[in-house]
Structure 1
Amino acid sequence: MKKCILALILLNSFYYEVSAQVGINTPTPTATLDVNGNMVLRKANSALSNKGYSCIVRDDNTGELKVIASPSGNTLPLNYITYTLNNVNGDWVNDYDTKISSSEYTVAIIGSNYTSSNNGLTAAVGTDFNPMNVFAFNSGNTWHLSADYKGATSSGGNGTWEIRCLVINNTLVKTLPNVIQNLGGSKDASATSSPSGL
């Protein structure tokens, strides 16, 4: 009976090494389980919104499956955080260092709002001020935040910015080359091609 089972396994391209490495569709497995081909996962239980689950990714160089993790042990690829910065200089945050490593994460701002004691902003005499300018930038290997209504002052004294950020594990992020295009004074334009690297 054992011989029949072994013959059936070999005919289906299933290989077992004495070193406890199993290969499917490969006679030379290089890991505990080495699958050479597509895998199908049939119906599975949903994680719903429960915590305690990791995200699995594939190493494009070796094919090895790995768990996303940061040096602190965070295994979640997408993280949400709100920075509430109180008593800022009027409406201006020039440089707030989040201390989030830019080599491990990418920070994307997904929303913000500014309030002062009377929600008032005034422009310099005879001028207008720009809409809010809120962005994240990389400096010194960490992510920094900047927020301002350029050309405006807060008529309600120092204010508060709430800046909502998505913090993404860099394992899932590919940085594409910048796109620079002269619109020649036009208000409409089209890229010459899809961004390189997509």
Structure 2
Amino acid sequence: DIRKGIESILLQRRSIEGVSSVQSQWTGPYAFSYKAEVDFDGTYLAARLMSRYKKEFRKATEGSSLDKDLSVLLSWYAEDVMRLVEREVRDIEAEIRSVYPGAAYIELEPDSKYSDQFAIDDVKQEALQKIEMDALEKMMVSLKNERGRSDPKSKNSPKTNRTKMKGEEETVFLTHEEILRRKD
């Protein structure tokens, strides 16, 4: 089934936590359209941007004009998060079309079921901050290792447990949803 195949492609990407509201229809004998709402993993996006922004955030906190520097820096960071999501969507659409050439129209709409609240409000508790930090650090290590041993353009690595090699620690990524469940 094409819908299940596309959903599998989406859920194999570490950038995506969930898929919902899937709609598809045949638009011709060999062409179809596909639409879905996707929940992007903010921890993955932060890990992708961390190496570029870590030094800049440190510099902003050390300077005498923190308010001005931080405002501009947050604006740039937000813009780069959006650009990263846009690149992810383009890459995912290209991957879907490479597997399913009949995908004439693909619409992936970013949509979190938590879009009415701020993530920072979820992690006010120290235990949840630690869980998020651990997840971010593991994601950054994984991305660094991935770049070191494979094609840097390849972003289609499983987002969950990977096979453990002898002497290697198993990497487990928690979704935002799993972190919230641990809160209860």
TM surpasses 0.5: no
More strand by share: 1
More helix by share: 2
TM-score range for the pair, normalised by the shorter chain length = under 0.3
TM-score normalized by the length of structure 1: 0.20
TM-score normalized by the length of structure 2: 0.21
Q: Which has the larger radius of gyration?
A: 1
